[in-house]
């Protein structure tokens, strides 16, 4: 028989740059030293940051070494792993711990059981790994791999049952590449500056039923564990619903609560602080649930669904008083653009259609762009477009460089103000913004979700700027309605939001168009020419040529190179050859340009204006 073992060597599995598996051994002490090291902290920091932000952590997990605590394995000639010695150590995982206090409490709880060799925070930062010492009743351990595998199959359910009852929370075996072989359960290298370690832990005797009943007499089957967990869950839900009403906001992806005896305070968001308060109150009531149990309920389909936007708009249906509130609101914006009232009306109808998810194929792909000096109350006007009940859905501080934040804002907000539009770089304006503004759906991850999902886009865009030469992409001019203000916006005009949106809903119900047709889009593009940013090359082009038609006697076809050479003669050496590509792109996007394609390139029909 094999005697008791008090030292262990874990197997560390890594991959080299050629994706070849390599195995090495670590003593338990060396493993814990590595666990506390700056190297481990650096390796896991990116993973934990991504996990908290809801990003994809697959790549980071795969880059970390794997630790196999149950046995020493060696790599065989054919590349497989073969056991050389069984350690008598199994690994359980306690997941769903959302903050440092819960992780510390979990580690402390595991230390109270005499079988715990070590416990430490897992790689993702929201779980605790527990290493449990096990042996046969006589203290011996299996010596061959097949026997060790059968031993683990018996050890894991018993250890899981004992730790689940002792901690009041369900534990599971850590990851196994083969569910039929728990001997090979493993976890990723992690970082924990203060792990618990007890090298003289007593082994849990597997197969010694009398001792098991003495240690934990209430445990007989895992069914009883689940039954107790269900009972605690029912007590928790009953306690919470006796004191609070809950609803899940489908737009923002958050759960809200309201105390039954404090209706005047209204609905409040269930944030981390509120959740901790719930847990404390539940523990005081003798209901020993964990943070994960509470969060599982708060973000489950057991909580009533609620759409604040749909509810608000639906309440206005049938109550319009017949007055033109949309026209009154448009009139508060002083401008010489005669089409502004109708353009604003169409945009507002498109915005509400977007909120209601009425167009699954196309998003509201146009946005008013208010242009004026500072102090003309543009941002105030934008914010006031939303009623107070929905003003949480407004933002004017979105960073377009953070694409994940933009996608989530488009699914959870209602109106995004691109404030100080002139500060958006031409690259972002011509690339990402041009694409994202016309999306009908966005792929992103909700809070607490583990996977990406396609969410309906809700938010529409509006923009403000202090500069008139602002649009850098001729092909993107269709996305904006440039409106130059002649005076400050009249914000002293009291907006009757209920009647405003009652009129919008009445117009949509009557079938009024909520999109810009081809003729309107062409007019918007012509109107926006005055706000385009023209590079020196583009200015030289318009000073040298005009777009012609077939009736123009002076018109002739030119290649891009011929056009560039003519401009360069006028501009001199300041116009570098690299600008030739930019000129080609500019010409290809000019409206009303007549062009023909030949083997040697595209020719453009132009007339000289400088002859």
Both 256 and 336 in one domain: the answer is no
pLDDT for res 322: 95
264: tokens are 């005047």
d(CA 317, CA 306): 18
Both 113 and 146 in one domain: the answer is yes
- Alpha carbon 415 to its chain centroid, in Å, reads 18
Residue 521 has pLDDT above 90, yes or no: no
Residue 556 has pLDDT above 70, yes or no: yes
d(CA 182, CA 149): 7
pLDDT for res 4: 45
**449 or 238, which is more confident:** 238
Indicate the burial class of 169 (C-beta count within 10 angstroms; 0-12, 13-18, 19 or more).
Answer: buried
- The answer to whether 523 touches 337, Cβ cutoff 8 Å, is no
Both 207 and 253 in one domain: the answer is no
Residue 6 has pLDDT above 60, yes or no: no
Residue 56 has pLDDT above 80, yes or no: no
The last residue of one of the domains, among 257, 272, 306, is 306
Both 282 and 385 in one domain: the answer is no
The last residue of one of the domains, among 509, 531, 553, is 531
Assigned domain for 2 exists = no
Listed range (138-152, 216-230, 426-440, 523-537) with the worst mean pLDDT: 216-230
Both 300 and 329 in one domain: the answer is no
- 258-277 pLDDT, tens digit per residue, is 988 776 678 899 998 999 99
d(CA 294, CA 242): 15
Half-sphere exposure (Cβ direction) of 491: Cα atoms closer than 13 Å: 12
pLDDT for res 126: 84
Q: What is the tally of helices (H) and strands (E) in the chain?
A: 21, 27
The last residue of one of the domains, among 531, 554, 576, is 531
Angle (nearest 5°) at CA 593 between 591 and 594: 145
Strands in 109-184 per DSSP E: 116-121, 127-135, 172-173
**534 or 401, which is more confident:** 401
Q: How high does pLDDT run on average in the chain?
A: 84
Which pairing describes strands 268-269 and 254-259: parallel, antiparallel, or unpaired? antiparallel
- The answer to whether 300 touches 240, Cβ cutoff 8 Å, is no
pLDDT for res 219: 45
- 467-493 pLDDT, tens digit per residue, is 877 776 655 567 888 899 999 999 877
58: tokens are 């697959």
- The answer to whether 66 touches 13, Cβ cutoff 8 Å, is yes
Assigned domain for 4 exists = no
Q: What are phi and psi of 608, to 5 degrees?
A: -75, 135
DSSP 604: E
Identify the domain containing residue 269 by its residue range: 226-306
Both 53 and 91 in one domain: the answer is yes
pLDDT for res 1: 38
């Amino acid at each position: 028989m094999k005697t008791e073992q008090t030292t262990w060597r874990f197997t560390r599995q890594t991959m080299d740059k050629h994706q070849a598996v390599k195995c090495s051994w670590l003593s338990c002490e060396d493993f814990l030293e590595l666990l506390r090291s700056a190297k481990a902290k650096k390796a896991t920091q990116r993973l934990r940051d991504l996990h908290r932000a809801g990003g994809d952590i697959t790549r980071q997990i795969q880059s970390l070494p794997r630790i196999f605590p149950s046995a020493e394995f060696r790599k065989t000639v054919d590349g497989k792993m073969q056991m050389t010695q069984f350690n008598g150590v199994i690994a359980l995982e306690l997941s769903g711990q959302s903050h440092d206090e819960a992780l510390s409490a979990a580690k402390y709880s595991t230390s109270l059981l005499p079988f715990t060799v070590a416990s430490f925070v897992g790689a993702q930062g929201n779980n605790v790994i527990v290493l449990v010492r096990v042996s046969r009743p006589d203290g011996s351990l299996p010596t061959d791999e097949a026997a060790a595998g059968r031993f683990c199959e018996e050890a894991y359910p018993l250890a899981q049952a004992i730790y689940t009852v002792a901690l009041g929370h369900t534990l599971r075996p850590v990851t196994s590449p083969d569910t039929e072989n728990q001997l090979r359960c493993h976890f990723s290298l992690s970082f924990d500056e203060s792990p618990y370690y007890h090298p003289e832990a007593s082994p849990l005797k597997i197969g010694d039923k009398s001792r098991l009943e003495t240690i934990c007499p209430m445990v007989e089957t895992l069914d009883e564990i689940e039954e107790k967990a269900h009972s605690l869950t029912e007590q928790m839900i009953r306690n919470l619903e006796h004191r609070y009403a809950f609803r899940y906001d489908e737009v923002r992806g958050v759960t809200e609560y309201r105390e039954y005896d404090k209706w005047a305070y209204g609905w409040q968001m269930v944030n981390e602080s509120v959740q901790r308060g719930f847990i404390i109150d539940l523990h005081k009531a003798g209901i020993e649930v964990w943070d994960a149990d509470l969060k599982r309920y708060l973000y489950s389909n057991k909580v009533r669904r609620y759409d604040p936007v749909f509810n608000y708009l639906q309440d206005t249906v049938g109550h319009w008083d017949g007055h033109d509130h949309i026209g009154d609101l448009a009139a508060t914006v002083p401008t010489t653009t005669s089409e502004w009232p109708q353009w604003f009306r169409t945009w507002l109808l498109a915005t509400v259609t977007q909120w209601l998810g009425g167009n699954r194929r196309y998003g509201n792909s146009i946005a008013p762009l208010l242009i004026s000096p500072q102090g003309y109350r543009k941002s105030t006007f934008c914010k006031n477009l939303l009623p107070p009940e929905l003003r949480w859905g407004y933002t004017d501080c979105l960073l377009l460089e953070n694409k994940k934040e933009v996608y989530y804002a488009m699914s959870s907000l209602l109106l995004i103000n691109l404030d100080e539009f002139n500060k958006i770089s031409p690259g972002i304006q011509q690339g990402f913004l041009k694409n994202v503004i016309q999306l009908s759906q966005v792929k992103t991850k909700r809070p607490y979700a583990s996977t990406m999902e396609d969410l309906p886009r809700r938010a529409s865009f509006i923009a403000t700027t202090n500069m008139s030469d602002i649009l850098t992409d001729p092909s993107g001019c269709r996305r904006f309605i440039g409106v130059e203000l002649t005076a400050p916006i009249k914000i002293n005009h009291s907006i009757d939001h209920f009647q405003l949106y009652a009129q919008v809903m009445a117009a949509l119900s009557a079938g009024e168009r909520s999109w810009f047709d081809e003729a309107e889009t062409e007019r918007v593009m012509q109107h926006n020419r005055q706000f385009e940013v023209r590079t020196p090359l583009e200015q030289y082009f318009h000073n040298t040529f005009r777009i012609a038609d077939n009736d123009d006697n002076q018109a002739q076809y030119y290649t891009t190179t011929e056009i560039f050479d003519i401009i360069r003669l006028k501009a001199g050496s300041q116009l570098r050859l690299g600008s030739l590509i930019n000129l080609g792109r500019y010409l290809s996007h000019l409206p009303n340009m007549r062009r023909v394609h030949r083997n040697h390139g595209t020719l453009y029909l132009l007339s000289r204006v400088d002859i």
